[in-house]
Each structure stands twice: as C-alpha cells, then as structure tokens.
Amino acid sequence: MIMSMSCTSKQPVTGDDHSQQGRGVRQAAALWTAADGSEQEFNDLVSENLCATDSERLALFESLSRIIENCYQSADMLTVDLLKPTQLTNAGNPTTADYIMSAYSPLAHFSDDMFMNKLAFVTIMNFPHYTLEEKNTLGREWSRQEWAMARLGDVFTTRVPAAVNARLAQANADAENYIADYNIYMGNLRTEDGRQLWSDDKVLLAHWNLRDELKALYADKQAGQEKQEMIYRVMQRIVRQDIPAKAINNPDYVWQPYSSTDAAEPYTRYERILAIAHALFEEDKFCPSAPTGIQRNFEEGVEISAEELDSLFRALVGSPQVMQVAAVIRERLGRELRPYDIWYDGFKARASLNEDELTARTRRLYPDANAFAADMPRLLQTLGFYSEDARNIARHIVVEPARGSGHAWPCMGRKEDARLRTRIPAAGMDYKGYNIAVHEFGHCVEQVLDMYMIDHYMLSGVPNTAYTEASAFLWQQRDLQLLPNSQISNVKSQISNNEVFDQFWSMYEIMGVSLVDMAMWRWIYAHPKATPRELCDAVQQIAKDIWNTYYEPVLGEHDCVLLAVYSHMVNAPMYLPNYPLGHIVQYQLEEHLAQYTNPKDFAQEYMRIYRLGRLTPKEWMIQAVGAPPSIEPILRAVEKAK
C-alpha cells in the first residue's frame, strides 16, 4: 500500500461527484480488480491519496513527472544498448543472443508494477484521462501546466499484462530484423539478354533504397528507364512473394527478375505481419475503451480517426489537381507515364544533377558517422540557428551507422541523447545516405527541442509521429542547400511552383500507400484466422483496387500492386499514414515559415513551433500556423500554379 504522498484529503470522493476529483476516482475504480484489494481498501487508498489542495496536486504532479521520466529514460537507455548489434554496423555481428534480446522490452512490466504498487491508481484519481474531443474543446482554455497534467492522465488508461506486451515486442522485433536484412544485390540482376546494368558493389535495401535508386535514375538519360523498369519488376515480385528466396541478401545469386522461376521466398513477409496482428488481438482483450489495434493506433496514438484520415487522403488522390500535375510530368518526361512514375523526382533541385557527382562530394565530406556529427552545428547555423543554439542542439544528438536504411531514435529523458542512424558504406556516406541523414537530422532536432527546451516533461514530444515527419521533411527538402558553399538559399519568401508540385506528388504517392496499409488492417481484423497466403492474396487485391480507382487513370497498367511494396507495412504496423499527414503538416508549415525571410527569424519561429510539445494534432496546428491540418492549402496552391 502506497503512503499518503502528502495528499491529505482524508475525505473519500463518491462516484456522484462530477468534479475532476470525482472523475479520477471513477476512472481508478473502473480499473480496480479483486486482486488489488477489497472495496474498503480502495476507499482507504482514495482517502489517503486524493489531493485536497492545488499545491498538493502540483507537488504530486512534479513528483510523478520525475518518476515517469526516470523510468522511461532508463528503460530506453537499456534498450538502445541491447539493440546495437542488430541495428548498428559498428557493433559487431549479431549473435543468437543479440537477436533474442532485440525483442526484450524493459518496460513490458512497467504498467503491471505501477498498478501493483498502487502508483497507477494514485495517478489516475488525481489526474484523470480526458477524451480526444474533450482535449480539443476544453484544451482551448488550458494553461501549459493544465495540458501537461492532462497528458499525465493518458499514462495509465489500460491494464495490459506484461506477457502480452512481451509477445508484441517479440513480433515487432522479428519483423524489424527481417526487414533490416532485406537487401537486393543489384549487380547480380540480369536482363533477358544477359546484360548487367549495375556495378557489383550496388546493394539496395527494400523498399527504401530501391525507391531512392529509382528516383535518382530520372537523371540518367541513357540507361535510366531500363533500370527503372527492372526495379519495378523486383518490387512487384516482393509484393507477390514470387521473388526467388535466394535473391534476398545473397551476394552470390545471379538472376533475371523478368523470367526467373527459382523457388520463391515462402510467405515470410505476410507471416511477420500476422504475427504482429495476433499479438495485437491479445492486447485487444485488455483495452475496452479502444478494443482494436486500429482504434488504439489512430484514436489514441495519432489522435485522428482512421475514417477521417481515409476521407482526407481519398479527397486528395481523387482531386482534379492530380491530372494537372501528371500533365506537367508527362510533358517533362516526353512519354506516357508508367506506374513507377509515382516516384517522379524531377521537381526537386537535385533532379538535374548527377547523383554520382553528389555522392563523390558527400563521401569526401562524410567518410564516417563522426564527420557528419562534427558538421551538425554548421548545418544548423546554415538554416539560421544562432551559434549557441546550434551547439546546444547538436551536443544532444549522436550519429551512428545503421544496418537498415536509417532512422531517428528519440531521447526519452533529459539525460539521454537523440540518435541519428543512417547507412554509411565503407567508402563513405553516399548521396542517398546523406539525404536520409538530413531527414533523420530533422527528426533529431525536433526531439531535442521538445525534450531539452520544453517547460514540462509530460508535454515532451509532438502530437503524433506525423508531426516529427513534418520536421524531417522540412529539413530533407533543404539537403542541397545545407551542403557547404551551396548557392541555393535556405529561406525563401514564397514556395515555388516546382516545390508545390513536388509536395503534392509526394502526397499523392504516399496517400495511396497509406490507404492500402489501412485497408489491409481492416481486412486482418475482419479475417482474424487468415493464413499468410490468404493475406498475401488480400493485400494484392486491396492494392489493385486502390490503384485501379485512383492511379490507373493517371499512370496506367490495370491491377498494379506497387502500392503494397513499402517495408513499413511489415515492420511498423499502421505507421504509414503518418507520412502523408506529415506532408500535409509540412506544407502548412512551409507556407507559414515562408513569411520569415530572415534566416534568424526563420529558425526562431521553427524553434517556437517545435517547443509547443504534445498537444493534440488540431490544437498544435492552430497554435503553430493558425489553422488545423487541411489539404486545402496544397490544393489551392496547385490550382494557382497552372
């Protein structure tokens, strides 16, 4: 039994009390079980621990914030160390023990422990949970401290057993390890007449590096389209699971993507997805307020419903502006569009540049992770940050070489660094790696700002992962400008037509991918006993249906499955919708930030926005740019760019 915590009300609050205290007590009572004690013991706990004054409640809030930060931070630091062999290239080759421990979650028992020692009940009764609708309405009048207290009320809302958490962690780790080693040795691919199109040392991770290679090939006027067609064929075979098993992560297997009939990979891709689904089904039983993984992900995680996002995405991909931008691309390419032109990259400033020359430059600049880390203060100052701010932010970011394509690992407390991971070959950081590194740097800058420079720990972070993606996109958009001696301005007074078209086309692409991902999870929940083969067939049909409706009229080819190629569908359940939402947020941020033509003012406004913290998505956007998330600004901009 927990002690009084200096909250000395000694007056039990009944369920009839409609005050904040009554709300908290009712929520705590709903999670109390016979294993926790008798009804009288619950009443005693309330009497001893319900705060009687604002000052007592504030003291408890500060104490709980410190406890939660320490627990989250310590667990995360342990996780980071345990995962190094499976995630980093400079930590040695992973052993069986490393793969086993990659699924270990130090926080798996945290919720169980906090309910057992009654700290969870003390938190709930004093800091009740508010629904999303309540946050969006009541929150308009809340102070920063009241917002932080409301976020404290989100910590203990369910009681998922540790064993269930552990099974989900295992399934996620297995999927991550599978994807991290899904390399295609491009030098081993052969045309039907036996030609080799890529050098022996070209190794690309699916789907990220395959996609980025396809984008880069628009600058190759000689062999570019032939190579794009071959990558497209490889991607189709990955989705259909008829890719030869020996073609995955194998430097010795030579094959022809158009005609090979060698033994296909078993349905591993879809086995990994279903393993995560089955773990979520177990979790569902303990989450009565959001009884499906879909609801928990969108309504409690993203804090925007799946239905609202689905409607938002369909409105854009079905808009007349799509045909407008497609006509511009068709004219520039001088040919009819192909399905892989969904990744057309010609609107960017780098599209006309030779990637080999860019790679030679980035390899000289960044031979290893330490070189990129040393350059981070300059990158920040180039964008307008004051030198002191640049140094303070950079010193909280660690750069590490990734086994996978790259990612940003956030700090969970103020004694921990944000971690920037990107793939760095032995020859140095190629341009693709640099472009990804700048994207991940955008994540890390946001993570440092809203952890180390925020007023309340419980507000650290952003509303959802789309909002950190917006920051990453904002930085990635400026990758060429951030290179030393760049002649391209980092700050502009308006967004050019090319940039409008580029962002719109990126939304068009990733919204289709996200619609497939969301539809897949609806199908999984409607067919909980599905086999991997059945899921494979269903995903292909979903991808075909969405393609035929929104993409075939623009890009051709009936029944194309390309929208299902993203690896996030396997190793990051329901994460993909964060990308198009991030693009929406990014565009609104770009429009807002364009008025700050002085680099210093630009950087200061960026810092103000990303120190708002974890408000709801709607409230964050209103405080950031004066309007909620919307596709209307980008639609208007495309229309105007005619």
Q: Which amino acid is at 251?
A: P
Residues of the chain with pLDDT under 50: 1-17
Element spanning 203, H or E: strand 203-205
Phi and psi angles of residue 264, each rounded to the nearest 5 degrees, phi first: -80, 155
Element spanning 199, H or E: none
Cis, bond preceding 207 (omega within 30 deg of 0): yes
pLDDT of residue 491: 63
The count of other CB atoms within 10 Å of the CB of residue 424 is 26
pLDDT of residue 351: 65
Rounded-to-integer distance, Cα 42 and Cα 14, Å: 12
Look-up of token digits 């990158």: 379
- The answer to whether 437 touches 429, Cβ cutoff 8 Å, is yes
As a whole number of Å, the CA-based R_g of the chain is: 25
Q: Is beta strand 418-422 parallel, antiparallel or unpaired with respect to 406-409?
A: antiparallel
Three-class SS state of 577? coil
Q: Strands, DSSP E only, in 386-541?
A: 397-401, 406-409, 418-422
At CA 187, angle to CA 215 and CA 333, rounded to 5?
25
Rounded-to-integer distance, Cα 194 and Cα 176, Å: 34
pLDDT of residue 333: 96
What is the DSSP secondary-structure string of 510-545? HHHHHHHHHHHHHHHHH-TT--HHHHHHHHHHHHHH
Q: Which residues contact 472 (CB under 8 A, 6 or more apart)?
A: 408, 439, 440, 441, 442, 443, 446, 582
Rounded-to-integer distance, Cα 173 and Cα 240, Å: 23
pLDDT of residue 487: 65
Q: Where are the domains of the chain?
A: 20-141, 293-347+493-640, 353-476
Residue 585, both tokens = 């947020």
**In the chain, what is the straight-line distance between the N-terminal and C-terminal CA atoms, in Å?**
69
Q: Which residues contact 175 (CB under 8 A, 6 or more apart)?
A: 272, 273, 275, 276, 570, 571
Rounded-to-integer distance, Cα 100 and Cα 274, Å: 20
